[in-house]
Amino acid sequence: MNRSLFLRIQSKVEAYEPYFVHKRNGVGVLDLSALQKITTALRMLAYGVAPYFMDEYLRIGESIAMKNLKKFVKAVVAIFSDEYLRLPNNDDIARLLAVGESRGFLGMLGSIDCMHWTWKNCSTAWKGMHTGHAHELTIILEAVASYDLWIWHAFFGLLGSNNDINVLEWSFIFTELAQGRAPRLNYTINGNEYTMGYYLADDIYPQWATFVKIIPRPQGKKNKHFAEAQEVYGKDVERAFGVLQARFAIVCGPTQPWDLQTLKDIMKACIILHNMITEDERDDGGEENIDYEQIDKIPHAQVSLERTPNTMEFIQQHRRIRDRKTHSRLQSDLVKHLWQIYSQS
């Protein structure tokens, strides 16, 4: 990360957590500085090294280095979660919809997938619950990412023996939408009106109105063209996982801590720092080369905030999210829309 971002994080963490304040110990000797403690924590996150390795570089013992890491990740989660681990607001949704429309996927809000994080020091009594298809002890992260690698949704902590559908059933990804607190969209594809955004997903996900899945064995030019485009743009979340693991090696290899809550704090802190770095290094055009000034002049999907529903409205909204007919119609309309764009070009 850039020096300015590091100093910003240091000042916020030092102001929030007294542990990082540079002070004298019981015998009047200056203790470790905030710079030493935060550098230790960030090096353990970025390089995935063991706590005792810090003694050679920063003269910090193993127990203190581990304490620094736990205090740091908790402070980062407490300070920056509301800003960097939040759902998209109206402006964010408008930008995501504009990017999705430029790609041919009207109403797209990102892509969704799951990642497994290996847990080396998992308790022996929990091994059966954490062993999945890869025959490793893992913990699952469900995430939604956009084209710019920003992670908008993160649900972490479910046992590795679950698959993506089990994680989805436990996840809170559609809670705001079902309860009427999420912005409502209005857009039209092929003459059909839709009021919910959707995520690009793998074939394992259910046929819900909020998912557009890949066609496993496409037949015909239209379906093949759609399958190729869906696969390309559906990889945004895979790219985000790759960049997250490249930036923070601790979430790439087997993790060491024994406590599950510590692992949750580490994962959340890494995602928050990833989003902070993404924001700091963001280029408005990016790889998409989109003219946002022209996009703002064109009327697109309208965004409005729904009111809080009653019980019956909540049940109806829940059924709308899981509507298979809407899923099939949406996918069919997108196939025709993408083929029309391809034919005109």
Arithmetic mean of pLDDT, 23-41: 81
User: Are 172 and 311 part of one and the same domain?
Assistant: yes
* 189-202: average pLDDT: 91
Contact assessment for residue 22 and residue 30, using Cβ atoms and an 8 Å cutoff? yes
Reported as a single tens digit per residue, the pLDDT across 68-99 is 999 999 999 999 999 999 988 888 998 999 99
The token pair that represents 93 in the structure block: 């949704």
pLDDT of residue 296: 47
Query: Is the CB of residue 148 less than 8 Å from the CB of residue 287?
Result: no
> Helix, strand, coil shares of the chain as percentages rounded to 5?
55, 15, 30
Helices then strands (H, E): number in the chain? Answer: 14, 8
pLDDT in tens, 260-312: 899 999 999 999 999 999 999 875 444 444 544 444 433 345 554 555 567 78
Question: Taking the alpha carbons of 335, 341, 343, 345 in that order, is the dihedral positive or negative?
Answer: negative
Last residue of a domain, one of 49, 84, 119: 84
**10 & 54 share domain:** yes
Are residues 167 and 291 located together in one domain of the fold? yes
Assess whether 212 and 229 both reside in one domain: yes
From the number of C-beta atoms within 10 Å of its C-beta (0-12, 13-18, 19+), residue 345 rates as exposed
What does the block give as tokens for 153?
């949704």
Q: Is the pTM of this model over 0.75?
A: yes
* In a shared domain, residues 182 and 320: yes
Q: How many domains does the chain have?
A: 2
Q: Do residues 207 and 324 both lie within one domain?
A: yes
Q: Whole domain around residue 64: which residue ranges?
A: 3-84
Averaged pLDDT of the chain? 86
Closest CA to 167 of 130, 145, 141: 141
**What is the Cα–Cα distance from 59 to 32, expressed in whole angstroms?**
10
Percent pLDDT > 70 in the chain is 91
50 has a pLDDT exceeding 50: yes
